Copies of this chain bind each other. A is one copy, B any other.
Amino acid sequence: MTALPNRDRRAERREATRQEILDAAWAIARRDGLTAVTLRGVGERVGMRAPSLYSHFPSKHAIYDAMFGRAWHDLIEALRALTPLPASPRRALLRAAEAFFDFAAADPARYQLMNQASIPDFRPSAEAYARSLEVYDLMRTELRALGVRSAADLDLWTGLLSGAVNQQLANDPGGTRWRRQLPRLVDMFADEVGLPTPRLRRAR
């Protein structure tokens, strides 16, 4: 009778513990960098000895992998939460660009895990990697809806976005020097690929 409820409880508890472990790993990564995440450190934060973590994750890389998948999942959610986008293509692009930018700037360690191969020997699993492709698909679909079709144009857009983010994180962390350029980038891109006016900013 109580067999099923108990099993649910256990599964829930187990999942909660997994989550605590991941949260601890994120906290360390944010404070001291991705490579500062150690099993001892994580264990200490969750009130466990390091070896006990192996009851929940088969290896340290599995923890990174879960973090990687989670990060991309959260980005997907952040982008999906944008719909419905403004009817104006340029306003729609700006809204999406700002969402992406803010997601990246909110957690540089997360951005580093997602985009830069910064952990020796770590390769995301196929499942986790698929989530990053999903974001790419999402962007492509969105741009297509706005009338941007060619692969080169999509590359152009991702280049503009990642450039702004990278410069912000590298040269003005916590600031807004490149975030302020987003309306300009949107106009430049929209002009280049032939999206309708009016511009967000007045032309010079």
Contacts and interface: CB of A to CB of B under 8 A. Distances in A.
Best-buried of A152, A155, A164, A193 by chain B (most CB within 10 Å): A155
B163 A120 contact: no
Best-buried of A35, A117, A160 by chain B (most CB within 10 Å): A160
A118 to B, nearest CB: 5
B159 A181 contact: yes
Interface string A5-23: 0000000000000000000
A31 to B, nearest CB: 13
A33 B35 CA distance: 14
Nearest to A33: B120
Interface in A111-162: 112, 115-118, 120, 152, 155-156, 158-162
B204 A177 contact: no
Contacts of A194: 204
Given A116-B116, A120-B33, A166-B166, A178 B204 contact: no
Interface in A165-187: 166-167, 170-171, 177-178, 180-181, 184-185
Interface of A: 33, 35-36, 112, 115-118, 120, 152, 155-156, 158-164, 166-167, 170-171, 177-178, 180-181, 184-185, 188-189, 191-194, 204
